[in-house]
């Protein structure tokens, strides 16, 4: 039997896992993924505390495996253009972990005959109780970071706190059934927020299911 082509999905995932097995490269990948905009070599080198050439070597491998895309940056003045980088794929190990959690939550929903939002609330409440209270004072940010959502806080209209979920670790499922996955996200946030005396007013999904940038409006409980 002929060997599977290198573009086979399993081989692609294997190569990506191998690329991210190097700790420094994994760190660079995480920094690019957490950045709200494409990031440059100088910034990555400064954050990691290594030489720019070292960062370039790791970036080359990330680009080759399709984990990161390289974009040309046109300088404002004369000179050679630089490059900036953005994440274009996900960590296959982290994705596998995320989908294990998703399957567990949905299995609990079926067993308890709950809808997705209720299942999310219960899972969020359980997760908040398990978080280490020392140094993890923000259960929403802690949980969604650990689950691979690349969250960040922003200030909305009228000073409202908005938690932006930068990516969706359940992108494939969200494409197939955005209503269920978004309801689960909202329920998770509500369960976590309650433990911190907060209320989630609602979720504004991204324009394209699975692409991230969902917005959760959060306020202190009892505040209108």
* pLDDT on residue 37: 81
Task: Confirm if 127 and 146 have CB atoms less than 8 A apart.
Answer: no
Residues 179 and 81 in one domain: no
Average pLDDT over residues 56-77: 85
Q: Are residues 98 and 83 in the same domain?
A: no
Higher pLDDT, 149 or 62: 62
- Tell me the pLDDT of the chain averaged across its residues: 82
Specify whether the CB–CB gap between 197 and 210 falls below 8 A: no
Do residue 106 and residue 74 come from a single domain?
no
Strand ranges, E, within 68-224: 68-73, 82-87, 151-155, 161-165, 198-204, 214-220
Query: How many C-beta atoms surround the C-beta of residue 135 within 10 A?
Result: 8
Q: How big is the CA angle at 100 (ends 95 and 106), to the nearest 5 degrees?
A: 120
Asked whether residue 150 is assigned to any structural domain, the reply reads yes
- 31: domain CATH number is 1.10.10.10
Distance CA 210, CA 175 (A): 6
């Amino acid at each position: 039997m002929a060997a599977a082509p290198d573009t086979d999905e399993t081989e692609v995932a294997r190569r990506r896992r191998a690329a991210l097995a190097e700790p420094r490269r994994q760190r660079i990948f995480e920094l690019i993924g957490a950045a709200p905009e494409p990031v440059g070599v100088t910034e990555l080198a400064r954050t990691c505390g290594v030489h720019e050439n070292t960062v370039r070597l790791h970036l080359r491998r990330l680009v080759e495996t399709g984990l990161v895309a390289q974009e040309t940056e046109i300088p404002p003045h004369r000179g050679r253009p630089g490059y900036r980088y953005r994440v274009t794929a996900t960590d296959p190990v982290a994705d596998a972990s995320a989908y294990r959690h998703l399957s567990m939550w949905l299995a609990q929903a079926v067993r308890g005959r709950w809808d997705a939002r209720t299942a999310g609330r219960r899972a969020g409440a359980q997760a908040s109780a398990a978080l280490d209270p020392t140094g993890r004072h923000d259960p929403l940010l802690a949980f969604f970071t650990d689950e691979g959502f690349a969250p960040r806080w922003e200030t909305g209209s009228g000073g409202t706190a908005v938690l932006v979920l930068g990516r969706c670790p359940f992108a494939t499922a969200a494409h197939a059934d955005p209503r269920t996955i978004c309801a689960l996200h909202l329920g998770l946030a509500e369960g976590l927020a309650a433990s911190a005396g907060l209320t989630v007013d609602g979720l504004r999904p991204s324009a394209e299911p699975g692409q991230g940038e969902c917005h959760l409006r959060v306020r202190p409980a009892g505040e209108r």
